[in-house]
């Protein structure tokens, strides 16, 4: 069981996530890799003071393979870190836009 304060890392602010927030009342968050849908739901309810969470979808994007050149003419291979995000739909009478304002 993960602590609820460690589940939500940060809100994701992009054109697509803002479109979801405006049209479907669905908000996107970067989450902990070990978090479950129930953990995300409970964390949103507790930390953001939301009464009704309608649905939670979790997307796991694997890291990309990358190659970089070394100073001796060789190639080193690595991988970027994976990204895990949750799309949380809340009831239409509640609003989270204050958490998604830049600055």
Tell me the pLDDT tens digit for each residue of 51-99.
899 999 999 999 999 999 999 989 999 999 999 999 999 988 777 766 6
Domain boundaries, the chain: 4-64+80-97
The CATH number of the structural domain formed by 4-64+80-97 is 3.30.70.330
62: helix, coil or strand?
coil
As a whole number, mean pLDDT of residues 39-60 equals 93
User: Chain-wide mean pLDDT for the chain?
Assistant: 89
Give the C-alpha separation, 27 to 29, whole Å.
7
Of the candidates 2, 35, 25, 1, which has an alpha carbon nearest to the alpha carbon of residue 88? Answer: 25
DSSP for 35-92?
--HHHHHHHHHHHTT-S-EEEEEEEEEPPPEEEEE-TTS-EEEEEPPPEEEEEEEE-T
């Amino acid at each position: 069981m993960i602590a609820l304060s460690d589940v939500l890392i940060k809100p994701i602010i992009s054109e697509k996530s803002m479109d979801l927030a405006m049209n479907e009342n669905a908000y996107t968050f970067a989450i902990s890799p070990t978090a479950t849908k129930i953990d995300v739901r409970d964390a949103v309810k507790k930390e953001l003071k939301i009464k009704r969470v309608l649905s939670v979808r979790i997307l796991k994007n694997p890291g990309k393979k990358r190659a970089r050149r070394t100073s001796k003419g060789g190639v080193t291979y690595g991988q970027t870190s994976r990204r895990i995000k949750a799309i949380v739909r809340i009831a239409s009478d509640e609003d989270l836009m204050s958490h998604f304002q830049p600055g």
